[in-house]
């Protein structure tokens, strides 16, 4: 992969996810998700602080994860000016990584300073995500069946050929029933909705659409990637407790608003990097070949002409 100086921020973000994955890898499958997450957080933070990249964490580990580092508002990097908004998820799917099962990734995203929605006070969001064909076609206000049928018609396929990813949580039980009742295929996953959401916006991944209530901070991370590949996304904040509702209102967030993609992230550039820990949609997990760790990453940069997948080797 060849990048020029203007694309150095992309390399810095890639280095941060690689550091997170390499440092937490010895804890994968051990069963301690807190220890694993701390290892990833420490390494990602150190990597960013050693780079010339400079920005402020808008979507961080935050209060929900009781994180003392990579917190909302933290300044990272050696640069003199704070040029970027940063969204991090050092391990998306901590339980999966701790158990050593598929679906865990490390993710970081960035956009110019002041362009990223700060919704860290709300933990959950109802989302709909699709590829470029979904723009102007699908809508979060439509029924599940209507969205599925519209997408099938627009892509010249049968409803039974449409695959819809919905995270397997009780709060999504009705949506899952609606997907299956419509005759579409339910793509089941139990944790970590960023990878499946990005997959929904890239043709040929086996995921055509993502629906349901998942993480709100993860939604902003996702939006950076979706915006960079010119996909489709809408969301509605979905606080689950009275405390969340109060916090959202105090933060000036609109609970009834249908957030469009540019509400989540605006500006003229978005960078999204996802690196596999265990096998996940779009990226392989860490593999050992000839005594070396092979770590695979997906890079989406609106300044680059295409989505790039890179394999890097690290001495084991």
pLDDT at 4: 57
CATH architecture for the domain at 124-264: 3-Layer(aba) Sandwich (3.40)
Highest mean pLDDT among 5-9, 65-69, 199-203, 249-253: 199-203
Look at the alpha carbons of 297, 202, 107, 301 in this order and tell me if their dihedral is positive or negative.
positive
Residue 65 has pLDDT above 60, yes or no: no
Q: How many angstroms separate the CA atoms of 177 and 169, rounded?
A: 12
C-alpha–C-alpha distance, residues 216 and 38, integer Å: 21
pLDDT for the residue numbered 37: 95
Instruction: Please give the span between the terminal C-alpha atoms of the chain, in angstroms, as a whole number.
Output: 22
Q: What is the pLDDT of residue 226?
A: 98
Q: Categorize the per-residue pLDDT at 1 as very low, low, confident or very high, splitting at 50, 70 and 90.
A: very low
| Predicted pLDDT of residue 316 | 61
Bridge partner list, 164 = 186, 209
Domain with CATH 3.40.190.90 in the chain: 124-264
* C-alpha dihedral (125, 131, 137, 142), degrees to nearest 10: -30
Is the model's pLDDT at 175 over the cut of 90? Answer: yes
pLDDT band at 291 (very low <50, low <70, confident <90, very high): confident
Instruction: Report the alpha-carbon angle 134-136-240, nearest 5.
Output: 75
Q: State the Cα–Cα distance between residues 175 and 159, nearest whole angstrom.
A: 16
Distances (CA, A) of 22 to 16, 78, 106: 10, 22, 10
Mean pLDDT in residue range 89-105: 96
pLDDT of 66 above 80: no
Query: What is the rounded average pLDDT of the residues 173-201?
Result: 96
Burial class (CB in 10 A: 0-12, 13-18, 19+), 312: middle
Residues 6 or more apart whose CB falls under 8 angstroms from that of 121 comprise 244, 247, 248, 250, 251, 253
Look over the chain and give the mean of its residue pLDDT values, rounded to a whole number: 93
Strand ranges (E), 16-137: 55-59, 75-76, 84-92, 105-112, 124-130
CB 166 within 8 A of CB 145: no
Q: What is the pLDDT of residue 5?
A: 57
Q: Grade residue 84 by pLDDT with cuts at 50, 70 and 90.
A: very high
Please give the average per-residue pLDDT across 21-27, as a whole number: 97
Domain with CATH 3.30.540.10 in the chain: 5-113+269-315
pLDDT at 132 over 70: yes
Report pTM: 0.94
Beta bridge partners of 290: none
Q: Helix-strand-coil percent breakdown of the chain, rounded to 5?
A: 35, 30, 35
pLDDT of residue 308: 94
How many angstroms separate the Cα of 237 from the Cα of each of 72, 214, 301?
18, 10, 26
In the CATH hierarchy, which top-level class contains the domain 5-113+269-315? alpha beta
């Amino acid at each position: 992969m060849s990048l020029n100086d203007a694309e150095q921020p992309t390399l810095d973000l890639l280095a941060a996810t690689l550091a997170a994955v390499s440092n937490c890898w010895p804890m994968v499958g051990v069963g301690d998700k807190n220890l694993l997450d701390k290892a990833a957080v420490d390494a990602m933070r150190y990597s960013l602080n050693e780079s010339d990249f400079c920005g402020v964490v808008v979507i961080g580990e935050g209060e929900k994860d009781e994180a003392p580092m990579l917190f909302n508002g933290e300044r990272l990097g050696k640069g003199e000016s704070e040029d970027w908004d940063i969204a991090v998820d050092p391990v998306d799917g901590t339980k999966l990584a701790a158990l050593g099962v598929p679906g865990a990734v490390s993710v970081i995203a960035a956009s110019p300073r002041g362009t990223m929605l700060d919704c860290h006070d709300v933990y959950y969001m109802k989302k709909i995500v699709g590829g470029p064909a979904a723009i102007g076609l699908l809508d979060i206000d439509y029924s599940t069946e209507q969205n599925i049928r519209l997408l099938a018609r627009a892509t010249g396929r049968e409803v039974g050929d449409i695959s819809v990813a919905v995270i397997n949580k009780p709060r999504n039980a009705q949506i899952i029933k609606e997907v299956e009742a419509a005759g579409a295929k339910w793509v089941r996953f139990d944790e970590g909705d960023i990878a499946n959401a990005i997959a929904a916006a890239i043709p040929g991944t086996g995921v055509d659409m993502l629906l349901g209530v998942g993480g709100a901070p993860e939604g902003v991370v996702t939006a950076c990637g979706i915006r960079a590949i010119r996909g489709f996304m809408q969301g509605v904040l979905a606080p689950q407790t009275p405390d969340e509702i109060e916090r959202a209102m105090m933060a000036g967030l609109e609970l009834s608003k249908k957030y469009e993609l540019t509400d989540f992230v605006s500006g003229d550039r978005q960078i999204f990097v996802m690196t596999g820990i265990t096998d996940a949609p779009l990226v392989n997990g860490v593999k050992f070949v000839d005594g070396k760790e092979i770590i695979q990453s997906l890079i989406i940069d609106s300044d680059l002409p295409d989505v790039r997948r890179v394999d890097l080797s690290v001495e084991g």
